[in-house]
Amino acid sequence: MTASFSTEFSEDLSAFPPERTVFSVAGTDLRVLDGDHPFLVANRSVIRENWEREIAANPALFDGRMVLQHRLKLSEAGIAGEAYIVPFSAFMWWRRQPERKGAIHLFAYPVLESSDGALVAIRMGAHTANPGQVYFAAGSLEPEDVVGGRCDIDSNMRREVMEETGLDLADAIAGEGLHAGHVRGSVSLFKLFRFDMTADEMVDFIGAHMLVADDKEIAGAVAIRSADPAAQPYNVAMLAIIDWYFSR
């Protein structure tokens, strides 16, 4: 679709196309600033209190560091952003808020496509922050994805897919263009990667990788063959993407 562009950074997504709409973007310029995120500064005590509740319910959670956007701008040049490094606990508090104000979560989705026209996703383990949910192998942007003060989404996608599935995006044919969508304050940037393997072969490959992987976050792989939203317990960010893919 054609987006209406804004020349100003915004702390919300009101200038973006409507939620659950897939649109093309020319590229990204996602700066990471020094200092503390204003959301963290304003909510430090409640973030700490909520984290105590989170780890009481799930001791396996780890308060690592991640990139959380402060402001975004959509233009003909793509999506530009200003972000800060925050503890994971800040994100966990943000996502519990009904309005999700004060920050924007942006992440990269590598959409794994099989040679027989299916999509391959993963099911998250019971000990993770999204237990049982099905979505494409991905993770939040982390400090190691920041190069020269800017987020490298291609590096993030390759690392996350390798860690979680054992598949190397360098072995796939990357689709043309970068796409995006958003829902409930989270922006997903995604790109297609087509492997010369059937969906069943990819699922078996990931299953074998799970046996030797250091990262035990996933509970299995899933082949997606239709846009049926009830086929799996999908993460909400998945729905617009699978609908877009299977309706092309």
Q: What pLDDT shows up at residue 3?
A: 46
Helix residue ranges per DSSP H, 139-185:
153-165
Contact 180, 23 (CB under 8 A): yes
Q: What pLDDT shows up at residue 240?
A: 97
Of 166, 162, 163, 142, the C-alpha closest to 153 is 142
Q: What pLDDT shows up at residue 2?
A: 43
Q: What pLDDT shows up at residue 213?
A: 82
Write down the residue that tokens 């800040």 correspond to: 90
Spans of the chain, pLDDT less than 50: 1-3
